[in-house]
A and B are shown apart, each in its own frame.
Chain A
Amino acid sequence: MKIGVLLKQVPDTETKIKIRADGKGVEEGEIKWVINPYDEYAVEEALRLKEKAGGEVVIVSAGPARATEAIRQALAMGADRGIRIDTTGIEQDPYTTAVMLAGAAKNESFEIIFAGKQAVDDDCAQVLIGVAEKLGWPHVTPVEKFALSGKTATLQRPVAGGTKEMIEADLPVVVGCEKGLNEPRYASLPGIMKAKSKPVAELKASELLGTERARINVTKYSLPPERRAGKIIPGEPEAAAAELVRLLREEAKVI
């Protein structure tokens, strides 16, 4: 079975984000880059499927040269090869990313694609849906349980109030992976050494995009305002409650 995994390299969630002076992006200098955590579930699920059904796991990522590090890590976990779509100089938004990834996926004729349910940097959760749309495949997301029998996948989604939704989908399908789906493995030392000789192909973004252009134009990034210190209202309960109501009404203007 030919299994595709969509992977994005994102800043480590502990990285302190600094906005660039022009406000159009973030400063990359001191960022520690990691595999998007939800994508790690996707890699793991793909590896588990391969261990059961055989075949090949191919990692596809659209990003600059540094994204190769994230692909290598997935190869060290056990994936077979990688494809990086070089996005240098391309205006990337969820739409163009989906077009590029779908283009690469079409060339590979995957039977199933796993992806994280969203990336933890921009939190758009658009790309896997866009890829499915461009390929004309169904998608299911977020998925917290996955099983495959023949060519039919059984998928479980959480629904509001703790209810579970069970879905059956015939392959091919794009699966958006949620936390709890599995416990991603660590890259072992032998895995790291093996990854050295695994191929990572490079594709040109312009060739996959054709005349398609980004549909979102980011005008400005800004950091959330600093949280102000809380206020403690002293005094007897009755007087304090009255004061609280007055502050909510006159100062915070929320009631």
Chain B
Amino acid sequence: MDFNLTSEQELLRNSVREFAEGEIAPKVEELDRREEFSYDLTKKMGEMGFFGITVDPKYGGQGMDHLSYIILVEELARIDGSQAATVAAENSLGIGPIYKFGNEKQKKKYLPDLCSGKKLWGFGLTEPEAGSDAAATKTTAEFKNGKWVINGSKIFITNGATEITAGATVQAATGKRSDGRKELSCILVEAGVKGFTKRAMKNKMVWRSSNTAELYFDNVEVPEDHILGNRDEGFHQMLDTLDSGRLSIAAMGLGGAQGAFELGMKYAKERKQFGKPISTYQANAFKLADCATEIEAARILLYKACWLKDQDKPYSKEAAMAKLYCSEVMYRVVNHAVQLHGGYGLMQEYKIERFYRDQKLLEIGEGTSEIQRIVISRAIGCYDV
């Protein structure tokens, strides 16, 4: 077994860490407080090549492996969940489906601007009444006079309503299959088309400087060739996209746990009570030892899932395990880290409060922890009796 990262992966980690500490860290508190999406940081992240990491350079991507992508998200999340979310959602959900399932014309049209970060793209799956039950989608696309006519709405769409959002991949029911189930297809809908409105969702508890949107479709007409891949492939495309997306949410859990651990550790070594740094009391030292151990285990689980993907081996089960475990590790770590901060941990002035809030999304987004347990329990054969 070789646990060494390649020289490029090491360089990437160092460079992203320097960028996150130098460019993002000084701005996050203010952005979080104002619940503001930063176009400036998005532009800088685009210049750094943070979008389209695993995409072929001929479409403007960086041509890196999946583990490199995961290390990037991990390092961003160590500093700020919101910027990590912008990058993770864009790579996995915005760019990912177009790159994997789009035809040559669609890839050439959309990917260069998305990979440079000049434009963003949303992935419209979740609906007000279709969350974990993603196939319950009510949005419809009817084929009329050579065009798709879309009606319905989407919710919680990351990067869906920025000024630079160029559009969204929208899952819609396009008919009925012979087995009576809905025929689901994904359609590329460009911003600015008549009847398509997007609205940023406000007053969030988490990821306050990332963009989360509601999308509305009122008789939106798009050309026939805007379908992604083929008709009736939507459900499969969505499952595949979520498998890959889970790795990036896991990376946010891992990076967030690492960041929270470092904050807790630093504070515990500085804070003195009863004449000694509180890190030297075993009650606290053991907490920190548990955190370090769990983070190490989480990292190995996630990196292994990435390795499987990079080797083109099945990784769906491991991705679900990594997503479940990393997000729950962050839950435990950040909980300990706030406890170590005592009263100060409850104040906005101390960064740990933001980590505490941002963590919660990870157990909900891109498949709740419960859904991950369904995926895993199916994969290990619990129901095959």
Contacts and interface: CB of A to CB of B under 8 A. Distances in A.
Given A193-B63, A193-B64, A188 B48 contact: yes
A148 interface: no
Contacts of B47: 188
A69 B7 contact: yes
A171 interface: no
A72 B7 contact: yes
B8 interface: yes
A189 interface: yes
A193 B15 contact: no
A189 B7 contact: no
B143 interface: no
Nearest to B62: A189
Interface in A167-209: 186-193, 195-196
Interface centre among A69, A72, A76, A192 (most CB of B within 10 A): A192
Interface string B1-44: 00000011011101100110010000000000000000000000
Contacts of B62: 189-190, 193
Contacts of A190: 49, 57, 62
B148 interface: no
A73 B11 contact: yes
A189 B62 CA distance: 7
Mostly, the A contact residues are: helix
Contacts of B125: none
Interface centre among A76, A187, A196 (most CB of B within 10 A): A187
Contacts of A72: 7, 11
B48 A192 contact: no
A140 to B, nearest CB: 28
A69 B7 CA distance: 7
Contacts of A189: 12, 15, 48-50, 53, 62, 64, 68, 72
Contacts of B15: 73, 76, 186-189, 192
Contacts of B53: 189
A195 B8 CA distance: 9
Contacts of B50: 189
Interface string B45-76: 00111100100010000111000100010000
A137 B18 CA distance: 35
Contacts of B19: 186
B48 A193 contact: no
A149 B11 CA distance: 35
A124 B8 CA distance: 31
A213 to B, nearest CB: 33
Interface string A21-44: 000000000000010000000000
Contacts of B72: 189
A232 B314 CA distance: 67
Nearest to B8: A192
Contacts of A196: 8
A193 B11 CA distance: 10
Contacts of B12: 189, 192
Contacts of A73: 11, 14-15
Nearest to B15: A187
Given A193-B63, A193-B64, A188 B8 contact: no
Given A189-B48, A191-B49, 11 more contacts: A69-B10, A69-B11, A73-B11, A186-B15, A186-B18, A189-B12, A189-B49, A190-B62, A192-B11, A192-B12, A193-B8
Interface of A: 34, 69, 72-73, 76, 186-193, 195-196
26 contacts: A34-B14, A69-B10, A69-B11, A72-B7, A76-B15, A186-B15, A186-B18, A186-B19, A187-B11, A187-B14, A187-B15, A188-B48, A188-B49, A189-B15, A189-B49, A189-B64, A189-B68, A191-B49, A192-B8, A192-B15, A193-B57, A193-B62, A193-B63, A195-B8, A195-B11, A196-B8
